[in-house]
Structure 1
Amino acid sequence: MAVDYKELKKGGFMRQKQKNCFAMRLKSVGGHFTAAQLDTVQKVAERFGKGYVHLTSRQGIEIPYIKLQDIDAVKATLKQGGVEVGVCGPRVRTITACQGAATCPSGLIDTVKLANEFDKRYGGRELPHKFKFGFTGCHNNCLKAEENDMGIKGGVLPKWTSDACIYCGVCGAVCPEQAITVDKAAQAVTFDQAKCVYCGKCIKSCPTDAWTGDHGFVISFGGLYGNRIAIGRHFLPIVFEEEKLYEIVDVTLKFFEDHAKPSERFANCLDRVGWDTFQKAVEAVL
């Protein structure tokens, strides 16, 4: 019987150099696996593989040396242990995320919650080529949001209250973009919002809480990290509403579906069709 390798790859089984052997990719959302799931992974690797796993660059797990004749048994064993096989090919891939605001002191958004919601809405969606989402909780950018086709970074738009300010100048000193100027003698603070990258360092450093702010999403588009490297671009202001974020995603994926050639990455599609055309489509939902 002929083997449909394309269908196997779609279902997370990637051919190895060794005949009839596959590296099996497991489903991961934000790099989270329970201890019970890891126990199942260990058992499968020992029984059907060679007793080891490979951790991918996108927070996933692969089990090499799965034999063709064992695939059905492997799937059944994984399912019993609450583990799903991942996806490959031209579709929404593994969604990566740092630990975010739920546990990290620097986190500005709940990246884990968002990654799971994105997986429910978009995980495995068929597209002209692979499409990657990445979440990072703050400007430290541990998950390198701009490497993804669409990156979402936690941000905060600062607000200054004069009554609480002692004009110490700390906020201006820590601002990486020099968006804040403090005149101690005149007791005046100037904030240039156009320069702000929404990192929130002014808020964290203020000893009197004169700086506060609203948390939101800083979005980049068109990142690419493979044969060609491209850094995702920012052209939107910070987005505060989660539902608005989903509207932007919907427009982005629809644009990719409508304009990309088969096997054309999103960044290459934008370069060919025109970033201005895409920007207008996205800004129309704001």
Structure 2
Amino acid sequence: MELEKGKKEVFNLEQLKSGGYIRQRQKDLFTVRLRCPGGRVPLEKLKKIAEVAPKYSKKDYVHISVRQSIEIPYVHYQDFAKLSEDLAKAGQKVASCGPRVRVPTACSGCEYNPNGLVDVQKLCQEIDQKYFGIQCNHKFKISLSGCPIDCFRTNEMDLGFQGAVEPLWDEDACTGCRICGYACKEGALTNDPQTGKPTIDISKCLYCADCIRACPTSSWKEGRKGLVVRIGGRHGRHPVNGSLIAVFLPENKMGEVIEKVIEWYNDRGKGRGRVRIGDLLMEKWQDFVNFIKPVLGEYALANSERPKFNKIHSFQTGWMPENPAIEA
């Protein structure tokens, strides 16, 4: 940012933050957040970041944010343009903050993780290309997890997608070895004491496919495969548990769901200022259900419930009669 002699530079800190330049407590210094969808950084970009960071940062490190972005701290605002130009030579972009769709996060998915059920890295890159930066009423975070272990906390995001596979049993191929019952961590499978044949309690099943992977005779097979969809969650000072609204959603319907959710959010949030989608859902749940069900179709859950606050600030200490659990 070049200035003519005698002129004073004036800039909007909120606009800078929206562009990925976050003010620090130190005067004139900022943290520059880079755009790293899914935490995947090609080596050429990583080399460029390692080359550029010491050139403009006053420290000898970069920081990996909770949402997988690389951050370069202690950058003087007068170096923004030069830093961005240098990074752009390797195709590395600066991220964004503020009221818009943020950089999506994801685990490694099924590419090399043995638990992964869907290729969430591929889906994450698609989301970043199509929806990153879209204006919203407030921040809008999307995450993807490849399996029910849910490392990327889809329950705590404005919109989350998680891989799921329905197990189908082929009795003719089953030898009654009982391995599937041992493999199931949820108690959803019980084996007959005499024959060893399994019975499934689908209400306990997480659709993790552990039984399918464990079966030595392939009597457990993949049925429907797709995405579990959760909405309205958030973490932070006042966390909210998101709502489960769909299961086995086909990957090719994910984009339509994202677009409709953002459409509803921006419309219902008009005139409300900085309001998260979870707050609107708690107020207008049935309206949202009526809006989104035609999009979800057969994959919609019939008994989905609105998001709920997760109370974590109970600062009661000591052994109190009204709190016997602490004493125990």
Separation in 1, partners of 2:260, 2:90: 37
Aligned to 1:98: 107
Separation in 2, partners of 1:199, 1:56: 28
Shift of 1:75: 1.2
Aligned to 1:60: 69
Choose which of 266, 271, 275 in structure 1 pairs with 2:277.
Answer: 266
Q: TM-score, normalised by structure 1?
A: 0.93
Unaligned runs of at least 5 residues, structure 2:
1-8, 298-328
Separation in 1, partners of 2:213, 2:239: 34
Separation in 2, partners of 1:186, 1:80: 65
Shift of 1:92: 0.8
Structure 1 residue ranges, 4+ long, deviating more than 6 angstroms after superposition: none
Identity %: 36
| TM-aligned CA distance change 1:105 to 1:188, over 3 Å | closer
Question: Aligned AA for 2:86?
Answer: T
Q: For 1:108-160, what per-residue CA distance to the aligned partner results, in whole angstroms no more than 9, with x for missing partners?
A: 11111000001111111110011111111112222222121111111101111
Q: For 1:200-254, what per-residue CA distance to the aligned partner results, in whole angstroms no more than 9, with x for missing partners?
A: 1111121211001132111111111011112222132321x22222222222111
DSSP-derived class of the 2:247 partner: coil
Separation in 2, partners of 1:172, 1:232: 30
DSSP-derived class of the 2:37 partner: coil
Count how many residue pairs are aligned between Structure 1 and Structure 2: 284
Separation in 1, partners of 2:278, 2:235: 10
Aligned to 2:118: 109
Aligned to 2:266: 257
Greater radius of gyration (CA): 2
Worse overlay, 205-214 or 109-118? 205-214
Q: TM-score, normalised by structure 2?
A: 0.81
Shift of 1:88: 0.5
The answer to whether the aligner puts 1:223 opposite 2:233 as a matched pair is yes
The answer to whether the aligner puts 1:3 opposite 2:11 as a matched pair is yes
Shift of 1:187: 6.8
Aligned to 2:171: 162
Separation in 1, partners of 2:205, 2:273: 38
Question: Aligned AA for 1:7?
Answer: Q
Choose which of 192, 201, 204 in structure 2 pairs with 1:183.
Answer: 192
Choose which of 290, 302, 321 in structure 2 pairs with 1:280.
Answer: 290
RMSD, aligned α-carbons? 1.8
Separation in 2, partners of 1:178, 1:43: 52
The answer to whether the aligner puts 1:24 opposite 2:32 as a matched pair is yes
Aligned to 2:315: none
Aligned to 2:325: none
Aligned to 1:234: 244
Aligned 8 A contact 1:169 1:184 in 2: no
DSSP-derived class of the 2:138 partner: coil
The answer to whether the aligner puts 1:36 opposite 2:44 as a matched pair is yes
Aligned 8 A contact 2:32 2:71 in 1: yes
Separation in 2, partners of 1:179, 1:265: 36
